[in-house]
Amino acid sequence: MLVAGNWKMFKGPAETARFLDELDVPAGVEAIVCPPFPSLADAMGHGVSVFAQNVHWANEGAFTGEVSATMLLELGVEGALVGHSERRQLFGETDGTVRLRCERALEAGLRVIACVGETETEREEGRTEEVLRRQVAAIPRHDALVIAYEPVWAIGTGKTATPELAQAAHELIKAEHSTAVLYGGSVKPENAAELMALPAIDGALVGGASLEPASFAAICRAAIT
């Protein structure tokens, strides 16, 4: 099982080091943390895998605010999130740029968690399958890549996909792409065990509940129960 914590724009370098000093990850689960860029270096050497929250498709160039795969590798970062719903909704990420970012990161030797998921409007309009098929089709095949299914309507809202909805979405994604699939969307200690017990779910991408060491550790424990 793989459990990744996406910290978004939280935790500077000092807070990152304190968090990881307190974190107790059980054996049998791979824990990944995705700090903001300024905190990546301080996340190293604490016994967890460290991923960036984004990566550009060029090695260098006039791309203000972006970071390349080669820079991340030099720092010691193992992988990157790509295509998170907030990047898609707030910063203009497209299926095409998701593919470019994935391809370059994988070519450079980074691991990738590629995110897909439908909005509440798309689900209400009965377009979930269409959206997921389109997004998954843009993601390259590679042994170092996993997909995270994050229904946008469940991110930061407290809403969580029912086990039936989550299982169906993961089965659809796996029918389109032969890789491990994580569930993301208001994962917390109270629902983690039920979600990760589903046969099509291979772990979790955790947002707000990954910001406290005890909460994140509890979700990691739930992954192996």
Residues taking part in catalysis:
84, 150
DSSP state of 159: -
Residue 133 CA, distance from chain mean position? 18
The residue length of the chain stands at 225
Q: Phi, psi at residue 122, to the nearest 5°? A: -65, -40
> Which amino acid is residue 5, in one-letter code?
G
C-alpha 83/C-alpha 86 separation (Å) is: 8
129/98 Cα distance (integer angstroms): 19
CB atoms within 10 A of CB 136: 21
What whole-number distance in Å separates Cα of residue 124 and Cα of residue 121? 5
Task: Give the Å distances, CA to CA, from 122 to 129, 132, 211.
Answer: 9, 10, 29
Element (H, E) at 175: helix 163-176
